[in-house]
Structure 1
Amino acid sequence: MTFSPETPETPDASEIPHAPDPAPDPATPQRDDFLTQVLSGRLEPGAPDWVYLPVDVPPGVAELAVGYDYDRPATPSGVPGNALDLGVFDPRGHRVEDPAGFRGWSGGARDGFVLSASDATPGYLPGPIQPGTWHIAIAPYTVAPQGLTYRVEVTARTGDQGEPFVPNPAPQRAAGRGPAWYRGDLHTHTVHSDGVREPAELITAARSAGLDFLVSTEHNTTSAHGIWGHHVPDDLLVVNGEEVTTRNGHLVVAGLPAGTWVDWRFRAVDGVLPRVVETLHGFGGLAIAAHPFCPYVGCAWKFGFAEVDAVEVWNGPWTPDDEVSLRQWDAALVAGGAGGRWLPAVGSSDTHAHDDAVGLGQTVVWAEDLTRDAILAGVRAGRSYVAESATVEVTFDASAAGRTAGIGERLPAGPEVPVELAVTVRGVENGFVRFVSDVGTLAELPLPDDTGRVAWTTTAAVSKYVRAEVRHTSAQPAVFEGMAAFTNPIFLDAETGNS
């Protein structure tokens, strides 16, 4: 199952002047049991985002093997060099308006792939090798001023198709604790895109990090969806997702039905994100703007925040771009605080390498149980906080005139009725709590060594919302202190006549 935005057609290689119609190389040796075709061409700066190389596959092919390379000329300091992504579509369709033939994507993480009915290189989807015209998708991520020359070798091997691959997705429910706080990582990678961990290694790392759930978010592919059932234990929830890696930012989607793929071939100017998110919501899924101020090419979020369900404020170790994301998200809360829609914040590790700590950061969600729908509902409602590890625990509530509200909730109170804000922190030494409202910082209070509880009093007239940050005390002057945890807000709704 796939769904795709409607965007203008992207040309085949034969339709653009800088990528001539590829054809088999007559010098390539051929044998009875395989046929190899070599496709080559050149792309100039300003090439289309996606170029499709047609390959005719005859009947009787059991395995398709593709390898590619391209030149990498030296460029001046500060000028991007060549980077070329790779994927493939089978004869069922490759156009954006008809992408049913999607069979996998590896971006720039691999130099080739192999497909058969029973197996496939991670990132690609096993299945029959149908006869007809396949399309190798190449995508110039960056092109050096000198241009980019590529060579793609496609080998079709005949023989028995073999036993078909049988998907084994993760269950949508794990052994939970009923209504409770559950810890998870909403943004993870394995060898099924550009990560280095095997799926079993990610499971082991998640359990070691004290997590209850994780979301599988490989770049532009769903190949991992069909294997999690072989690895996931009964007490860990794996939610199917995808990192939709466009040229204008990355969208983390969580809650896809197993095998459902989201086409990434659009830009912000195409205006198709609302349709993508609407379809995603039809599945009960979430759309999360990932690392909105990431400094790398194509990674910063350019779509605006009107359509998404949450924003990934914390991504990996706390860095300046996370600090900027936090402040931009907080500024948006002011507009949403008067009873309107507001955007919850989440945190994730975006783990790729073995050195990337799974669960740094992590989203701690209040959910009715450890199920896909309950976890996503908690994230959607903002009933969550973000922490640096499982050792950090935060409780935050607001009380006034016998009423109490927690993270992500609204507290009705008379404008001048005192509202007590209370935060209790465990697992942070030598830190402080910052209470932040729509007017800025209300107070910064050191964490006591004994109880870990700090409190402050405000009113609904003074503060439309309040959220809490738990920071590490810096031994040296710093532009910003390290983050241990932060919460989503509690909104204070002023009631007239109750003061």
Structure 2
Amino acid sequence: MTARSADSADERSTDSGVGDERTIVLTGRLDTDAPDWVPVPVDVPDGVREIVVRYTYDNPSAGTGAPGNALDIGIFDPRGHERGAAHGFRGWSGGARESFSISRSTATPGYLPGPIHPGTWHLMLGPYTITPQGLSYRIEVTLRFGPPGPDFVPRYAPRHATGRGRAWYRGDLHLHTVHSDGRREPEELVADVRAAGLDFMVSTEHNTSSASGVWGYHVPDDLLVIDGEEITTRNGHLVVAGLDPGTWLDWRYRARDGVFPDVLRHIHRQGALAIAAHPFCPFLGCAWKFGFDGLDAVEVWNGSWTPDDEVTLRQWDAHLVAAGKDGAWLPAVGGSDAHDHSQTVGLGQTVVLADDLTRDAILAGIRAGRCYVAESANVELDFSASAEEATAGIGDRLSLRPDTEVAVEVAVRGAPGTFVRLVTDAGPVAQLPVPESGNGTVTWRTTARAAAYIRAEVRRMPSGPLPFEPMVAFTNPIFLDVPS
């Protein structure tokens, strides 16, 4: 890899009529063995009021079956650009934009407004894919001089919204706007979240915290917006839900670097949740390779139900078999991962039993597994198991003798043309039709000897041969424990 510094780059000076401008041109080449992250320094003198960056790169034909060039970009100010140096982070757009700007008052979505500190800034290049011919890039950095504008004033979303006390609350845990690679403006996403009948949403932009500062300008009193981030590493994506406002988390590591346990500790110190996103996504860099130790949940349902969701469901179920015995288990959640207007917000959605519509209460409900996942707000589930005057709900445990009979009940509303499948550690044990109206209750009986846990799925009757039936909703398990 080669890259010229600002000192040796071609410079052009112009007068804009408002204040002086100077454009620095940086060129370089990246070969296929380039590192994941390439810092390119830019010297910024005192008196700069705005930085404008434009970049291009070539994309020669790579041949059949080979990926083309893709180059991500972001920027750090002089306070630090090394891994973990959150204080110097000023924005990231990945490959979603060809240009961006930063000033004290405003910034392109994905980037953070604030003072233009003099010193050495670093453009951070992320070569996602490189053709065998290599990747040549050209970056224009325009420095505009003049008095700085007023300070940007962030308005964070409140940590509570108008709720219904202890109740079931619906939300989408995985959403994007123009602050990363989404197409919706924040106000558009709020409107679509409300139209989907949701009570809360988690803001999960790729590798940036810039949206955090604007949600308070758009969120109504009865909608809870939880700050988060989608940490987009080269070895999988991690949805983090419940960050303190404005918090940014670094993404520049792989599983082999051994830093992931420290990342989890940092997340948990804030009381936030770490959720493996779309673990079996087939796209480059998206499949989860960090293991599941220390995570708080796994995103089983991501957007439209597809084969990789079905694989995730089965892998998660296998984890329940292995981990349920000692009380530690991994709850399942869902999110739409909606980026553009063609993708449905709330497909899937996580329905959480929480003490109120607050950040901490929603996170506590998810952490405890008191939740189910559904395709829309039309679908409602009640799932319980009862034995000897004790009743357990989703995410709970029943402690009983091995031969005690357990009555399992699933009430379904808003799901015509479906059936209920009950699954235990032994596999699917019952398949019971839902009335044609889509509303009804099905029952089944078991014992703790026969089932270590039981969970429910609602699936749609397929119109033709399929490798699996379309998912409508599924629950987290109820555990049936036998005291030792």
Cross-structure match for 1:285: 272
**In the alignment, is the contact (CA less than 8 A) between 1:24 and 1:37 conserved in 2?**
no
Structure 2 Cα separation of the partners of residues 158 and 56 of structure 1: 14
Partner of 1:90: 77
Q: Does 1:37 align with 2:24?
A: yes
Shift of 1:159: 0.9
Output aligned runs, 1:390-469, within 5 Å: 390-449=377-436, 451-469=439-457
Structure-2 separation of matches of 1:57 and 1:394: 58
> Contact 2:231 / 2:239 at 8 angstroms: preserved in 1?
yes
1:8 alignment partner in structure 2: none
CA distance in 1, matches of 2:5, 2:157: 43
| Offset at residue 27 of structure 1 (A) | 6.1
Aligned ranges for residues 291-306 of structure 1 at < 5 Å?
291-306=278-293
Q: Where does 1:48-447 land on structure 2 (aligned, <5 Å)?
A: 48-447=35-434
- 2:481 counterpart residue number: 493
- CA drift of 1:74 comes to 1.2
Q: Following TM superposition, by how much is the alpha carbon of 1:340 offset from its aligned partner in structure 2, in angstroms?
A: 3.0
Residue 467 of structure 2 is matched in structure 1 by: 479
Q: Which residue of 1 aligns with 2:12?
A: 28
Question: What secondary structure is seen at the aligned counterpart in 2 of 1:338?
Answer: helix
Alignment check: 8 A CA contact 2:196 2:346 kept: yes
Deviation at 1:46, TM superposition (A): 1.6
Distance 1:99 1:226 in 2: 16
CA gap 1:495/1:409 in 2 versus in 1, 3 angstroms: same
Contact 1:23 1:39 in 2 (8 A): no
Q: d(CA) in 2 for partners of 1:27 and 1:365?
A: 56
Tell me the distance in 1 between the aligned counterparts of 2:218 and 2:420.
39
State the shift of 1:21 in Å: 4.4
- Kindly provide the amino acid, as one letter, of the partner of residue 221 in structure 2: D
Q: Structure 2: which 5+ residue stretches go unaligned?
A: none
Structure 1-normalised TM-score? 0.94
Q: Is the CA contact 2:13–2:21 (under 8 Å) kept in the aligned structure 1?
A: no
> In 2, Cα distance between the equivalents of 1:197 and 1:78?
32
Q: Aligned partners of 1:365, 1:327: CA distance in 2, in Å?
A: 22
Distance 1:18 1:53 in 2: 10
Kept after mapping to 1: 8 A contact 2:174/2:337: yes
- For 2:261 and 2:165, the matched residues in 1 are separated by 34
Instruction: Answer with 31-40 or 242-251: which moved more.
Output: 31-40
| Kept after mapping to 1: 8 A contact 2:169/2:200 | yes
Deviation at 1:336, TM superposition (A): 1.3
| Correspondence for 1:4 | none
**How far has the Cα of 1:97 moved from its partner?**
4.8
Specify the alignment match of 1:46 in structure 2. Answer: 33
The answer to whether the 8 Å contact 1:23/1:38 transfers is no
* Mapped contact 1:86–1:139 kept (Cα < 8 A): yes
Indicate conservation of the 8 Å contact 1:24/1:38, yes or no: no
Partners of 1:468 and 1:486 within 8 A in 2: yes
State the alpha-carbon separation in 2 of the partners of residues 475 and 52 from structure 1.
53
Kept after mapping to 1: 8 A contact 2:419/2:431: yes
Q: Which deviations, in whole Å up to 9, do the C-alpha atoms of 1:394-416 show, x marking residues without a partner?
A: 11000011110000000112111
Describe the shift of the 1:97–1:234 C-alpha distance in structure 2 as closer, same or farther (beyond 3 A).
Answer: closer
Deviation at 1:29, TM superposition (A): 4.3
Please give the secondary structure, in 2, of the residue aligned with 1:40: strand
Q: Which amino acid aligns with 1:486?
A: F
Q: Match for 1:186: what amino acid?
A: L
Deviation per CA, 1:92-140: give whole Å up to 9, x if none.
1111153421000000000010100000000000001111111111110
CA 131–445 in structure 1, closer or farther in 2 if over 3 Å, else same = same
Aligned partner letter, 1:457: R
Q: Distance in 2 between matches of 1:296 and 1:27?
A: 39
TM-score by length of 2: 0.97
Tell me the SS of whatever aligns to 1:277.
Answer: helix
1:187 to partner: Cα distance: 0.5
Structure 1 residue 279 displacement after superposition: 1.2
Q: Tell whether the 8 Å contact from 1:289 to 1:308 is kept in structure 2 after alignment.
A: yes
Aligned mates of 2:455, 2:86 — CA distance in 1? 44
Amino acid at match of 1:306: D
Instruction: Give the Cα–Cα distance (whole angstroms) in 1 for the partners of residues 237 and 135 of structure 2.
Output: 25
What secondary structure sits across from 2:326 in the alignment?
coil
Q: What CA distance in whole angstroms lies between the structure 1 residues aligned with 2:256 and 2:480?
A: 37
Residues 55-101 of structure 1: CA distance to partner in whole angstroms, max 9, x if unpaired?
Answer: 11111110000000000111222211100001000011111153421
Is the 8 Å Cα contact of residues 22 and 41 (structure 1) preserved in structure 2?
Answer: no
Q: Deviations over 1:276-324 (max 9, x none)?
A: 1111111110000000001111000000000210000000000000000
Give secondary structure in 1 for the equivalent of 2:221: coil
Query: Do 1:333 and 1:343's aligned partners in 2 also have CA atoms closer than 8 Å?
Result: yes
From the superposition, tell whether residues 207 and 98 of structure 1 become closer, same or farther in structure 2 (CA, over 3 Å).
closer
What do you get for the CA RMSD once the two structures are aligned? 1.2
Find the residue that maps to 2:87 and give its secondary structure.
Answer: coil
- 8 Å CA contact 1:220, 1:245 repeated in 2: yes
Residue deviations 1:242-278, cap 9 Å, x none?
0000000000001111111001111101111111111
Distance 1:273 1:183 in 2: 30
Whether the 8 Å contact between 2:11 and 2:24 is mirrored in structure 1 is no
